[in-house]
Structure 1
Amino acid sequence: MAVSGFEGFEKRLELHFFGDDPLLMDDNVNNSCNNNMLGLQLGLGLRRLDFDSLQQVLHAVQCTVVSAVGNHYFDSYVLSESSLFVYPTKIIIKTCGTTQLLKSVRPMVHHARRLGLSLSSVRYTRGNFIFPESQPFPHTSFQNEVVFLEDCLPPTLRFRKASVMPSSLSSHSWHVFTASADDGDAVSDDEDEAIFTVEICMTELGAASAAKFFRRPNDGQTPDSAGKEMTEITGIGNIIPRALICDYAFDPCGYSMNGVLGDRYSTIHVTPEDGYSYASFETVGSVYDDKNDLARVLKKVAQVFRPAKMSVSTTSCASPEVWKRVAAALETVGLKCRSCAADEFPAAGTVVYQTFTARRK
């Protein structure tokens, strides 16, 4: 009988829209972490979606909201399976387990259309599933995912590309699909052009690190209070120190958090079970940031989880050279780069995929 556990590797979907003014915001958005929906009616664009509409989207995916935090720029939700971020003209949904993420596309586009928004680009990414045989349709294969996605998208998104980026590690490869209304050569907002996304997948976590994401039996804590304890004892709170963290601990084990700092998000998800331990970290940066900022973050992530294997995907329109900083930073904490692949995608820019393994003592 095949061994099967909880699937840690996430599926990630990023949808961009146009047709609304994202700049007119209300300053009175609640900035506290709780289980209520925050500020959805105060911003413009997608942030005007009512909670019932978001629930419909998440119901199609088969997950729910467990905690939320909002600020002047966007709304952040911790889900029963990973995370959701809602900006005025962008939404990011990241889910793990056996969720059916791509089934969110049609209802999301429908609800956005009611707000006067049209889909302008899509990016879907994921790593290798640990338990691929457990995935439901359309996630049974990357080919099925691409066919399903293409059927969901309007014909205006005519620039499309799908690619599986290989690595030297058989357990790690990177699946990317993008679609856009333009070919990526059109001039876009300078701020958007400067932003890069870093997606990290880690497996075979250090035993001592993984143990910190198990709850004590009958600890009497809520998921929120247990999550805060895990954030503190693991050092996660020091990865991006000024970020407002919304954290959640699952029972008997597992952890999720979203970090909010201005218009930037970060997120961590952990499945610590022995034999298929997994953790992910994702954040965004800018080419205008201090060049040492990314290095500091990467080092702290590696030190918190101490993985035997790590993959890092960086996506950037303006600075594909970010990958050099990634490799240099991780080399200093005992991780050796084993492979590096790069590819160009419409509107998304350059995706660089690197894999690392812990150096043998």
Structure 2
Amino acid sequence: MAVSGFEGFEKRLELQFTSNNHSVNPIGLRQLDFQSLEQILHKVQCTVVSALGNHHFDSYVLSESSLFVYPTKIIIKTCGTTQLLKSVQPFIIHAENLNLRLIAIRYTRGSFIFPLAQPHPHTSFHEEVVYLKNNIPQYLCYKKASVIPSKLTSHSWHVFSAGIAEFSDDVPYTVEVCMTDLDQTLARKFFRHPNDGKNADSAGKEMTQISGINRINPNAKICDFAFDPCGYSMNGIDGDRYSTIHVTPEDGFSYASFECVGSIYNDDVAEMVKKAVKVFGAGTVSVATTSASHVTCMRIKGAIEKLGMKSRSCSMDEFPAAGTVVFQTFKKRDDN
């Protein structure tokens, strides 16, 4: 917890592995037992509060955001003052014990609201990059670190990627949405009522319903959790695709995030982003789309503008191991 308030902006880490002997185990990383995951999360300074899985992957709602475990991929994002990058080495070691080798890594985050509250190794992006380079294999030769600025706001997007090969455009793309200055009336839906008689799961389900989060992707199976006295997290599972939402509703540093994945074979992501943004009525919205075509970014832009928001900035950068990252920012039209 920061002195001024809770840090909503998440740090996100994605690790991609492959089999060492070319015989891919269909379960792969999902063989990691719960105790091993808990030990890794203890280093990060968070815990599992709820879980859900299907044939494709396992999903965990954390005390500070989310963890997704696929047979050859791990995605973990945490907020607050967690030390996310301390999970890199443990995940690599556990994967090696399962005969899996790291072939790509991507770390992303926005600009912290309370940067001075962040502990090592997150006191600066430079420190994070140095830490990453010191804790990943040297054979990941396609490395790049960059801060993608927003031209008209103070918010920037930080990206580090590394891999054994250049990016292939046939992989799913990731959309990360960060929302600040939430509409106070909408944000109040994520506060618990004192002595409401509900547990975290039932209160979370109620928040999912009354906020309209359940309508963002009606096909998704949702695992939700309400924190006390306020705050909310959910993971959605739709086949091999995930989505996730995290809410810090306190006035003065309110924040919500939405993340999902898509592919060139479906075009429903822009509509999902529009629905997610509408849930929170944020004053400022930033969207980072990784490894996506410009068509996808334009669809997202058009969808958000239909909500009465104005595009204020669009910047992009190329990463050898991750592809194109497009960073867009939007503000309410009535804001100066």
- TM (normalized to structure 1)? 0.89
1:218 is matched with 195
**Shift, 1:51, TM fit:** 1.0
Matches within 5 A, 1:121-140: 121-140=104-123
Q: For residue 159 of structure 1, give the secondary structure of its aligned residue in structure 2.
A: coil
Matched, 1:100 2:83: yes
Show CA shifts across 1:256-308 (max 9, x none).
0000000000000000000000000000011111x3x2232122112100000
Partner of 2:333: 359
Task: Report whether the alignment pairs 1:229 with 2:206.
Answer: yes
1:86 matches 2:69? yes
Shift of 1:346: 1.8
What is the CA–CA distance in structure 2 between the aligned matches of 1:22 and 1:128, rounded to whole Å?
41
Query: Does 2:18 correspond to 1:18?
Result: yes
CA distance in structure 2 between the partners assigned to 1:257 and 1:165 by the alignment: 28
- Establish whether residue 270 from structure 1 lines up as the match of residue 247 from structure 2: yes
Equivalent residue, structure 2, for 1:33: none
Flag the 1:121–1:194 CA change in 2: closer, same or farther, 3 A.
Answer: closer
Letter in 2 for 1:95: T
Q: Percent same amino acid among aligned pairs? A: 65
Q: 1:69 aligns with which of 44, 52, 69?
A: 52
Whole-angstrom CA distance in 1 between matches of 2:78 and 2:264: 28
2:92 aligned residue (109, 134, 146): 109
Residue 304 of structure 2 corresponds to residue 346 of structure 1: no
C-alpha distance in 1 between matches for 2:154 and 2:110: 9
Q: Using the alignment, how far apart are the partners of 1:52 and 1:320 within structure 2?
A: 42
Is this contact kept in 1: 2:147–2:159, CA < 8 A? yes
1:193 deviates by 1.4
**Is residue 2:42 matched to residue 1:50?**
no
Following the alignment from structure 2 to structure 1, what is the Cα–Cα distance between the partners of residues 264 and 165?
Answer: 23
Q: Which amino acid counterpart does residue 17 of structure 1 have in structure 2?
A: F
Q: Please state whether the residue corresponding to 1:149 is helix, strand or coil.
A: helix
Q: Counterpart of 2:295?
A: 321
Q: CA RMSD in A?
A: 1.6
**Whole-angstrom distance in 2 between the partners of 1:286 and 1:235:** 24
Helix, strand or coil at the partner of 2:29: helix
Is the 2:18–2:24 contact (alpha carbons within 8 Å) kept by the matching residues of 1? no
CA contact (8 A) 1:10 1:126 kept: yes
Instruction: Tell me by how many angstroms 1:171 deviates.
Output: 3.5
- Unaligned runs of at least 5 residues, structure 1: 26-43
Report how far residue 168 of structure 1 moved: 2.8
Stretches of structure 2 that go unaligned for 5 or more consecutive residues are none
Measure how far apart 1:170 and its partner are: 3.6
Match of 2:149 in 1: 166
d(CA) in 2 for partners of 1:288, 1:24? 26
Match of 2:43 among 60, 70, 74: 60
Deviations 1:63-88 (A, max 9, x none): 00000001000000000000000000
C-alpha separation in 1, matches of 2:274 and 2:242: 18
> Is the CA contact 1:193–1:316 (under 8 Å) kept in the aligned structure 2?
no
Task: Summarize deviations over 1:80-139 as a string: whole Å, max 9, x none.
Answer: 000000000000000000000000001110000000001000000000000001000110
Q: Structure 1, residues 26-56: CA drift from partner, whole Å, max 9, x if none?
A: xxxxxxxxxxxxxxxxxx2100111111111
Q: How many residues align?
A: 333
Q: How does 1:144-159 map to 2 (within 5 A)?
A: 144-159=127-142
* Counterparts of 1:273 and 1:168, CA distance in 2: 27
